[in-house]
């Protein structure tokens, strides 16, 4: 029997360490960021762990070694996490007259402070939205702008604050809004707004969320050093603790909702987090239902960050989901979904 090389032994040692770290990372969504702020940041590393496990799996398979079973086991028990990170198939869309569409977009104040050199951002965002022509539109980091003309919507709820330059959120709808409101977060300019929307005989509550930002620039990798890394780590930990409280307030608000829910917007956290699990509860993630690829919604180089979501009740069928990264008009990309209300099951 041929003796195993020292390179193979070392590689498998690291494979075992990685397997343990990955399994531990699977448990992180169940650990409170308030109690474990340091560990909560590690949720951001889970996609990297999954990728490395896949590499080990391929290497051992190509070498015809049974060692592949370790990574295969880790990937198998984490299949739900893989689906949150990457979708391998695209659903064919069959449009029906009973469908309705929703778009959510963090518009970054329509480039009010000229983060982007493009002077036509407000007009181009208007054109993008008109092109998709959603029935319901939720905008985070909204700011009133004369160049933004959304003519297709007969109903709207806009909640802004501030002095000269106002900011906040907005929900636009082609269907009647019969009720509206807000969930305020303590010591934060972030919030959630909601609208009860009547479509035919159905009433749906749409929540638009904007949770605490971790305030990291998209080009942070270009100016990172040890001291800044520690500062950023502490900032992320602090933001995740704030998001935990915010997610708990959202979950509490669900209890008074008597309508099917759609929750969308900028969560500023990954799909592997405690906060994601808290807000999603038993709803479906539209990306998992009908998305394709990574679904990255934040323009962060070298990492496909999905931090904008659309969650729907089980009674709502997700027929299509898309993240439009074809043009950069904000630091986020818009997410779009096609939905259909399913008939309620009859009781015996």
**Which among 107, 223, 238 is positioned nearest to 160, based on CA atoms?**
107
Interatomic CA distance for residues 275 and 79, integer angstroms: 20
**pLDDT tens across the length of the chain (348 residues):** 567 788 999 999 999 999 999 999 999 899 998 888 777 788 888 999 999 999 999 999 999 999 999 999 999 999 989 989 998 877 788 899 999 999 999 999 999 999 999 999 999 999 999 999 999 999 999 999 999 999 899 999 999 998 889 999 999 999 999 999 999 999 999 999 999 999 988 999 999 999 999 876 655 445 555 555 666 777 888 899 999 999 999 999 999 999 999 999 999 999 999 999 999 999 999 999 999 999 999 988 778 899 999 999 999 999 999 999 999 999 999 999 999 998 864 433
Query: Quick one: pLDDT at residue 49?
Result: 94
User: Given this model, what pLDDT does residue 218 score?
Assistant: 56
Query: Encoding tokens for residue 147?
Result: 């160049």
Q: Give the CA distances from residue 269 to residues 37, 151, 216, 338, in Å, rounded to whole numbers and listed in that order.
A: 14, 32, 12, 24
Question: Which regions of 211-323 does DSSP assign to beta strands (E)?
Answer: 261-266, 284-285, 308-312, 316-323
* Token code pair at residue 213: 């930002």
Residue 196: CB atoms within 10 A of its CB come to 18
- pTM of the full predicted structure? 0.91
Please give the pLDDT value at position 132: 97
DSSP reduced 3-state for 107: coil
């Amino acid at each position: 029997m041929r003796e195993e090389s020292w390179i193979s032994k070392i590689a498998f040692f690291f494979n075992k360490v990685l397997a343990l770290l990955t399994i531990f990372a699977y448990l992180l969504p169940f650990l409170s960021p308030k109690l474990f702020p340091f560990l909560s940041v590690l949720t951001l590393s889970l996609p990297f762990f999954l990728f490395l496990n896949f590499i080990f799996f391929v290497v051992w398979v190509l070498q015809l070694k049974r060692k592949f079973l370790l990574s295969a086991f880790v990937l198998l028990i984490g299949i739900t996490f893989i689906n949150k990170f990457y979708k391998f198939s695209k659903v064919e869309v069959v449009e029906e007259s009973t469908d309705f569409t929703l778009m959510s977009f963090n518009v970054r104040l329509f480039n009010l402070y000229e983060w982007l050199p493009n002077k036509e951002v407000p007009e181009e965002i208007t054109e993008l939205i008109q092109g998709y022509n959603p029935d319901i539109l939720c905008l985070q980091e909204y700011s009133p702008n004369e160049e933004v003309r959304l003519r297709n919507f007969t109903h709207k709820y806009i909640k802004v604050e501030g002095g000269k330059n106002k900011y906040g959120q907005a929900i636009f709808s082609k269907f009647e809004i019969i009720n509206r409101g807000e969930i305020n977060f303590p010591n934060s300019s972030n919030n959630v707004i909601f609208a009860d929307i009547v479509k035919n005989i159905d009433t749906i509550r749409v929540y638009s969320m904007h949770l605490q930002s971790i305030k990291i620039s998209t080009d942070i990798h270009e100016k990172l050093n040890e001291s800044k890394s520690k500062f950023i780590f502490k900032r992320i930990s602090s933001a995740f603790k704030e998001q935990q409280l915010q997610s708990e307030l959202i979950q509490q608000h669900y209890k008074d909702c008597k309508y099917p829910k759609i929750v969308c917007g900028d969560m500023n956290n990954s799909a592997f987090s405690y906060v994601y699990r808290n807000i999603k509860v038993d709803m479906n993630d539209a990306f998992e239902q009908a998305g394709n690829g990574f679904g990255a919604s934040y323009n962060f180089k070298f990492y496909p960050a999905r931090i904008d979501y659309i969650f729907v009740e089980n009674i709502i069928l997700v027929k299509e989901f898309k993240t439009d990264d074809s043009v950069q008009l904000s630091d986020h990309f818009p997410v779009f979904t096609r939905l259909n209300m399913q008939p309620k099951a009859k009781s015996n």
